[in-house]
Structure 1
Amino acid sequence: MTKNYKTLVLCTAILAVLVVGLGAYTRLSDAGLGCPDWPGCYGFLTVPDQAHEIQKVQQHFPGAQVDQGKALKEMVHRYFAGGLGLLILALAVYALRHAKLPHVPLRLPMVLLLLVIFQALLGMWTVTMNLQPLVVMGHLLGGFSIASLLWLLYLRTHSQPVFGGDPGARASLGWSLSALVVVVIQIALGGWLAANYAATHCIGFPMCAGSEAFSLSSVFQLPTEHSNYEFGVLSFESRMSIHLLHRFGALITAVVLLSAMWQVFRSAQSQMIKQACGWVVAALVAQISLGIALVQMSIPLNVALAHNLMALLLLLTLVRLCYLQKSKS
């Protein structure tokens, strides 16, 4: 395996994290419909700002008001996402051409290629279906999945299994995998919260004002047909319930992760695995702190963005832990 390929994997993984951050920033700044069409913006490859371009916009999008700031955020995200897709394509082509070389994964780059194609479709549907919540949540989970698989590919290209190195690690792998599943579910709940614009619908901490109206059935209520889902269409009670369930999920996630990390830490012999447990706990503490700050500070944009990125970091630390446990067992 060439050094250039390893560098390409690393750069692609870093770009995936950046794209997730740009997507979160676009969503949190309400710029998801900054461009009402796809893949261009009002029919242009860049944001229209000239007089003759605005005139064409009015011809093809009657009554449209071009918000330069929101449109720019949306197009920057699209171009970076497009660059990520090209890099993943390059990884897949390399894997196909060098599939016979040792330690060159083939299935993982192919899965990534299929996933990024589907992610592009979700990006298109996000716009053409006017921020339909299920599509928005799927798009968020797709971004997290791509970043996680690229991180796993990076780990596989930069380290080799050490069989017999830590007999206690495999025994506790189930704990880490269970923690990983719980974190994914909690991220999905966060995505559902964001897709339904429920962040501001829970006043108070740790419970919401009016939490007696909580309804589990309304959490999973699918929004009825609307021409536009921007800023949310569900009732206040439904969105409060979504937000409160996400808080309950955070508590459950914390308990499960701390229990799992303790089990892994005390059963593992490898210092690397023990340190990996520490990184998971550190990311968990940071994420919970950001979540509390987010509520107490009335949802500032920078803290909300940090909360999104820390969720991804927590996921990546768990992926690394699981990989280490398996490869060093």
Structure 2
Amino acid sequence: MAMHDPSLTHARYALAVTLLALLVIVLGAYVRLSDAGLGCPDWPGCYGNLIAPTSEPQISSANSAYPGRPVEVHKAWKEMAHRYLAGALGLAILFLALLSLGRGKPTGYPRLLPWLLVLLVTLQAALGMWTVTLLVKPAIVTSHLLGGFITAALLWILTLRLYGPAMNSYVIHRPGRLLLFSRIGLVILLLQITLGGWTSTNYAAIGCSEFPTCHSGLWWPGMDFTQAFTLWHGTGINYEYGILGAEARTAIHLVHRLGALITALYLLPLAVLLYRTGRAAITQRLAWAIGLLLMLQLGLGIANVLGHLPLPVAVAHNGVAALLLLALLTLNWQLKRAYRIE
């Protein structure tokens, strides 16, 4: 295909925006896991400024304006870096939407999806504001995290649709059955990602200190499921470092651990079935990608427990979850194309 083909140019741009969205997810995880989510106590600025305060006069003025939240420069810069990058993503998505109105757009350029992304990134901005103003409330932070994953997922779908005309269709045996299985797998993974967000935002990632047992050699210690899954505890509460007791955090952690087991027991056989059924190299590569990403994700989860949540491992756990989601979306998209031409 010629280099000047508008469909290829638009597809490459959509791919670049998708990579930017993945970077925002990873940086957001880093900010949250390094306890910098309230590095700036206001929004959209930082202590009333567009940049984090660094000089002694700026810090002194900020501390006077926010006496309950003294400046921690390193945390403030982490938070602002995430906001700058998220702002750049929002502008990039808006440009994608404007391309859908232009005369130079390729034939079949999606119209609804880019504007849906604009609405979603606007909601993400609001959730980012509420994350700060509601003092990292778990329900808000989890929604913000899930919104980031959905943004990356929709951008990837747009990328696949734009690359579609340049990609071959592959023969897959009984794609309808595989498509149903892969869609169920996608739902299971999204639920597990949501559980992971709830685990992280409630500071329950090490709610169990051992693996495969939980505490003191126990598989099923005392737990408080009522408090663990209470979505709303009221306003005016600072949720930084968590407010739940040990038994509630253990309950969240074990549910997430069980969710990981269910996800693995579903996706690994799906990958094997895909590998055996697919008649093209692309399906076998997808099977390998899903299987390897899943095993890597399980290993990172175990390392988080045994290493007491080392920051690089915890951040990677978020990033690999996003890649696994994109791999499953690619599988669903490819199977849907095969089903249509069967």
Q: Give the TM-score band, short-chain normalised.
A: over 0.9
Query: Corresponding residue for 2:120?
Result: 115
Query: Corresponding residue for 1:189?
Result: 195
Q: Please identify runs of 4+ aligned residues in structure 1 that moved more than 6 A.
A: none
Query: Corresponding residue for 2:259?
Result: 249
- C-alpha separation in 1, matches of 2:80 and 2:308: 28
Structure 1 residue 99 displacement after superposition: 9.2
CA contact (8 A) 1:218 1:241 kept: no
Query: Corresponding residue for 1:275?
Result: 285
CA contact (8 A) 2:137 2:239 kept: yes
Structure 1 residue 41 displacement after superposition: 0.2
Query: Corresponding residue for 1:295?
Result: 305
Q: Deviations over 1:164-201 (max 9, x none)?
A: 84352233101111111101000000000011011122
CA contact (8 A) 2:139 2:232 kept: no
Matched, 1:317 2:327: yes
CA contact (8 A) 2:171 2:280 kept: yes
CA contact (8 A) 2:145 2:197 kept: yes
Matched, 1:149 2:158: no
CA contact (8 A) 1:169 1:269 kept: no
Matching residue within 74, 93, 100 for 1:69: 74
- C-alpha separation in 2, matches of 1:100 and 1:308: 34
Structure 1 unaligned spans of 5+: none
- C-alpha separation in 2, matches of 1:266 and 1:78: 45
Q: Deviations over 1:203-253 (max 9, x none)?
A: 111121163313444431235234211011111111110001111111000
SS where residue 69 of structure 2 aligns?
Answer: coil
- Name the amino acid aligned to 2:196: G
- C-alpha separation in 2, matches of 1:110 and 1:185: 25
Query: Corresponding residue for 1:258?
Result: 268
- C-alpha separation in 1, matches of 2:169 and 2:282: 15
Query: Corresponding residue for 1:23?
Result: 28
Matching residue within 151, 174, 199 for 2:180: 174
- Name the amino acid aligned to 1:321: L
- C-alpha separation in 2, matches of 1:164 and 1:315: 21
Query: Corresponding residue for 1:213?
Result: 222
Query: Corresponding residue for 2:99?
Result: 94
Structure 1 residue 261 displacement after superposition: 2.2
- Name the amino acid aligned to 1:20: I
Matching residue within 120, 131, 149 for 2:136: 131
- C-alpha separation in 2, matches of 1:164 and 1:279: 18
- C-alpha separation in 2, matches of 1:56 and 1:216: 44
CA gap 1:63/1:299 in 2 versus in 1, 3 angstroms:
closer
Matching residue within 38, 41, 58 for 1:36: 41
- Name the amino acid aligned to 2:223: F
Matching residue within 286, 289, 292 for 2:296: 286
RMSD: 1.9
Query: Corresponding residue for 2:210?
Result: 204
CA contact (8 A) 1:183 1:253 kept: yes
- C-alpha separation in 1, matches of 2:157 and 2:134: 32
CA contact (8 A) 1:144 1:312 kept: yes
SS where residue 96 of structure 1 aligns?
Answer: coil
- C-alpha separation in 1, matches of 2:13 and 2:282: 25
Structure 2 unaligned spans of 5+: 1-5
- Aligned ranges 1:54-65 → 2 under 5 Å: 54-65=59-70
CA contact (8 A) 2:14 2:159 kept: yes
Using structure 2 for the length normalisation, give the TM-score: 0.91
- Name the amino acid aligned to 2:186: L
User: Aligned residue pairs: how many?
Assistant: 329
Structure 1 residue 98 displacement after superposition: 4.5
Query: Corresponding residue for 1:103?
Result: 108
% of aligned pairs identical?
44
Using structure 1 for the length normalisation, give the TM-score: 0.94
- Name the amino acid aligned to 1:316: L
